[in-house]
Structure 1
Amino acid sequence: MSSRFEHQDLVLVEANPEQAKITNRNSYMSWGYPVLTIGEYIKREEILANNEFTSENFKVWILISRKSSVNCNSTTLNDTEPEIFSQCETFKRKTLITLSPGQIKEEICYCITALFTPPKYRHKGYATTMMKILDNKLRYEYKATYSYLYSEIGPDFYSRLGWKIFAHKEIRFKVDGKFSATSRNSETIVAINQYNLESIVNKDCEIIKKELMKLNKKSVVILPTKPAFDWLFQKTKFYSKFHSDTDDPRLFGAMILKNGFVNENDNEEMLKGFIMWNHDFKENELLIVRFRSESPYMTRLLLQQAMHEAIKFQLTQIVLWNPDLKLFSISEDINIFNGIVVERTESLPSLAWYADDDDDVDWILNEKYIWV
Structure 2
Amino acid sequence: MTVSQYVLPDGKSSTLALVQPTDAERIGQFKKNALTWKGALSLDAYLRREEFLSQQAFTKDGGITYWVLVDSAAKHRAVLSGCETLRKKALVARDGKVEEVVSHGIGSVFCPPEYRNRGYAARMMEELGRKLETWQTDQQRCMFTVLYSDIGKEFYTARGWHPFPSSHISVPATSKPEVHVGALPQSRPLHAADLAELCAIDERLIRERMTKSSSDGRWTAALIPDVDVIQWHHAREEFVAKELYGRTPVVKGAIVGNKPGHRVWCYWTRMWYNDNPQENKDNTLHILRLVSEDESLTEGHPPDVNHQTNGRSSIAPAIASLLAAAQQEASQWTMGDVEIWNPTSVTIQAAQHLDPAAEVTHRDKESIASLRWYGENPDRPVEHVNWIGNEKYGWC
TM-score normalized by structure 1? 0.86
Report the Cα distance in structure 2 between the residues aligned to 1:185 and 1:330, rounded to whole angstroms.
Answer: 13
Is 2:91–2:224's contact at 8 Å kept on the other side of the alignment? Answer: yes
User: Is 1:126 the equivalent of 2:99?
Assistant: no
2:24 is aligned, of 14, 18, 21, to 18
1:47 is aligned, of 45, 52, 56, to 52
Is 2:177–2:354's contact at 8 Å kept on the other side of the alignment? Answer: no
1:249-260 matches, within 5 Å, as 249-259=249-259
Determine the structure 2 residue equivalent to 1:352: 372
Report the Cα distance in structure 2 between the residues aligned to 1:141 and 1:57, rounded to whole angstroms.
Answer: 11
1:60 Cα deviation (Å)?
0.4
User: Is 1:288 the equivalent of 2:280?
Assistant: no
Matched residue type, 2:115: Y
2:261 is aligned, of 248, 254, 269, to 269
Q: Decide whether aligned partners of structure 1 residues 179 and 61 sit closer, same or farther in structure 2, where only a CA change above 3 A counts.
A: same
Q: List gaps (5 residues or longer) in structure 1.
A: 69-79, 260-267
Can you list the C-alpha shifts for 1:126-149, whole angstroms capped at 9, x where unaligned? 001101111111125555211110
Matched residue type, 1:343: H
Report the Cα distance in structure 2 between the residues aligned to 1:228 and 1:41, rounded to whole angstroms.
Answer: 20
Is 1:173–1:340's contact at 8 Å kept on the other side of the alignment? Answer: no
> Secondary structure at the residue paired with 2:318?
helix
Report the Cα distance in structure 1 between the residues aligned to 2:385 and 2:238, rounded to whole angstroms.
Answer: 36
> Secondary structure at the residue paired with 2:142?
coil
Report the Cα distance in structure 2 between the residues aligned to 1:273 and 1:81, rounded to whole angstroms.
Answer: 56
Report the Cα distance in structure 2 between the residues aligned to 1:159 and 1:233, rounded to whole angstroms.
Answer: 30
Report the Cα distance in structure 2 between the residues aligned to 1:116 and 1:178, rounded to whole angstroms.
Answer: 41
Matched residue type, 2:286: L
Report the Cα distance in structure 1 between the residues aligned to 2:65 and 2:168, rounded to whole angstroms.
Answer: 30
Report the Cα distance in structure 2 between the residues aligned to 1:27 and 1:331, rounded to whole angstroms.
Answer: 35
Q: Percent identity?
A: 26
Is 1:48–1:54's contact at 8 Å kept on the other side of the alignment? Answer: yes
Matched residue type, 1:138: L
Is 1:296–1:326's contact at 8 Å kept on the other side of the alignment? Answer: yes
Q: Decide whether aligned partners of structure 1 residues 252 and 331 sit closer, same or farther in structure 2, where only a CA change above 3 A counts.
A: closer
Report the Cα distance in structure 2 between the residues aligned to 1:331 and 1:54, rounded to whole angstroms.
Answer: 34
Can you list the C-alpha shifts for 1:211-237, whole angstroms capped at 9, x where unaligned? 111113311000001111111111112
Matched residue type, 1:277: W
Determine the structure 1 residue equivalent to 2:222: 221
1:115 is aligned, of 91, 94, 109, to 109
1:302 is aligned, of 298, 322, 325, to 322
Is 2:268–2:287's contact at 8 Å kept on the other side of the alignment? Answer: yes
> Secondary structure at the residue paired with 1:145?
strand
1:243 Cα deviation (Å)?
4.9
Q: List gaps (5 residues or longer) in structure 2.
A: 1-10, 274-281, 298-314
Is 1:244–1:313's contact at 8 Å kept on the other side of the alignment? Answer: no
User: Is 1:64 the equivalent of 2:70?
Assistant: yes
Is 1:98–1:219's contact at 8 Å kept on the other side of the alignment? Answer: yes
Is 2:64–2:87's contact at 8 Å kept on the other side of the alignment? Answer: yes
Q: What is the RMSD computed on CA atoms of the aligned residues?
A: 2.2
> Between Structure 1 and Structure 2, how many residues are aligned?
344
